[in-house]
Amino acid sequence: MKLLHLSDLHLGKRVNGFSMLEDQRVILTQIVDLAEEEKVDAVLLAGDLYDKPVPPAEAVTLLDGFLTRLSGGGIPVFAISGNHDSPERLAFATRLLAGEGIHLTAQYQGPQPPFLLQDEYGDVAIYALPYLKPALVRHWNPEADIASYEEAVSYALGQWAVDKTRRNVLLAHQFVTGGVTCESEERSVGGVDQIPAPLFAAFDYVALGHLHGPQSVGRPTLRYSGSPLKYSFSECGHEKSVTLVTLREKGQVEIQTLPLTPCRDLREIRGTYEEVTAKSFYQGTNREDYLHVILTDEEDVPEAMGKLRTIYPNLMKLSYDNRRTQGVAEVTGAERPEEKTPLELFQDFYQLQNNQPMAPQQEALVRQLMETIWEGTQ
């Protein structure tokens, strides 16, 4: 049996003020094409369908088209809500959608029976555990002594009588201890939401959502598929993909990553202003990519963002990496301020701000200004 695992669509997301809807439309089309080419038996969607609890109308339309095409191709979908989703909104019309092969578990309502699929090796039980907080479990069992995320997930999993003689798959949207995070993820304070991997031992494959980097945690079959697009510059080195899971007889699980190609990559470029604006620098690259430009000039370039966008229209972020930004100057207090001249005080201030001394031309200009001001006050 072939299952296509994906997660963290974050439909409607904006990155540094740029809407990602068109990029998401392209990547969802690729995913459906892959599902059809691989003749998968089901798609597993492990949460964070939307980026906001109240998504924009365009994002809702995009998800509708994605699910409709999968359903029309006879590919069932098993999906759960993530921490970015509104469970109440996602729960709308779930029974109607189930009739079309879209099985959406949006709200935790205690232990629900698994969905069953069959192939030549027998049953595959698919369990769905939407994003879980301690308060959600206490709502369904007020007498349960549950104070942490670990206790909440442990309790919820313990409510299922998992038949370990058959193949069992779990969808979950949690932070498993040992996972590598990115800047685009919503983080908890002190890692209070971390769940130990051994809690999921009863399942042959765990389709995880929440972390945006594709990775396995603890064992190969406890896996994050990662987000289908890069949503922060900390993800520049990622190779985005979806995970193809092939279940054969009990205990035989094959995992393959299917790469995705965005219409615009998200990447960083570095150099002086003169270097990054040279035609030889950007020839052969996609200037439509989303960029973080890191300038190494010692002095700030006036109106650099506007100038660079004439070459790189999707420039998202501009920063400098030079002596001024690389270190922090130290104030020693060897001399008292009252023992220094106004020019020396200004030189100290400049050194602290820029991590380098003033140039002779700058000193001359400041001296002239100080003299002019001093004369004007006499």
d(CA 97, CA 364) in angstroms, rounded, equals 75
Give the list of residues 6+ apart from residue 186 with CB closer than 8 angstroms, or none. Answer: 83, 84
d(CA 221, CA 216) in angstroms, rounded, equals 7
Q: What's the mean per-residue pLDDT of the chain?
A: 89
**Each residue of 241-257: pLDDT tens digit?**
999 999 999 999 999 99
Residue 283 has pLDDT above 60, yes or no: yes
Residue for token pair 């598929």: 225
Lowest-pLDDT range, 8-17, 33-42, 137-146?
137-146
Residue 74 has pLDDT above 70, yes or no: yes
What's the pLDDT score for residue 337?
A: 53
CATH no., domain 2-259 = 3.60.21.10
**Each residue of 103-135: pLDDT tens digit?**
999 999 888 999 999 999 999 999 999 999 898
Lowest-pLDDT range, 225-229, 232-236, 372-376?
372-376
Question: Do 108 and 132 touch, CB atoms closer than 8 A?
Answer: yes
Q: Which residue has the higher pLDDT, 230 or 351?
A: 230
- The DSSP-derived string for 95-153 is HHHHTTTEEEE-S--S--PPEEEEETTEEEEEEEE----HHHHHHH-TTS---SHHHHH
Lowest-pLDDT range, 76-90, 118-132, 272-286?
272-286
DSSP H helices, the chain, are 21-37, 57-72, 87-90, 94-98, 134-140, 149-158, 273-276, 279-282, 304-309, 323-326, 342-354, 360-377
**Each residue of 300-314: pLDDT tens digit?**
899 999 999 999 999
CA nearest neighbour of 166 among 114, 217, 130, 207:
114
What's the pLDDT score for residue 376?
A: 59
Sheet of 315-320, strand order: 266-271, 290-295, 315-320
d(CA 136, CA 108) in angstroms, rounded, equals 7
Strand partners, 205: 169
What's the pLDDT score for residue 366?
A: 85
Q: DSSP class of residue 354?
A: H
**Each residue of 139-194: pLDDT tens digit?**
888 888 888 899 999 999 999 999 999 999 999 999 999 888 888 777 665 567 88
What letters, b where the CB count within 10 A reaches 16 and e where it falls short, cover 278-291?
A: eeeeeeeeeeebbb
Domain boundaries, the chain: 2-259, 266-325, 330-377
**How many other CB atoms are there within 10 angstroms of residue 252's CB atom?**
11
**Each residue of 47-73: pLDDT tens digit?**
999 999 999 999 999 999 999 999 999
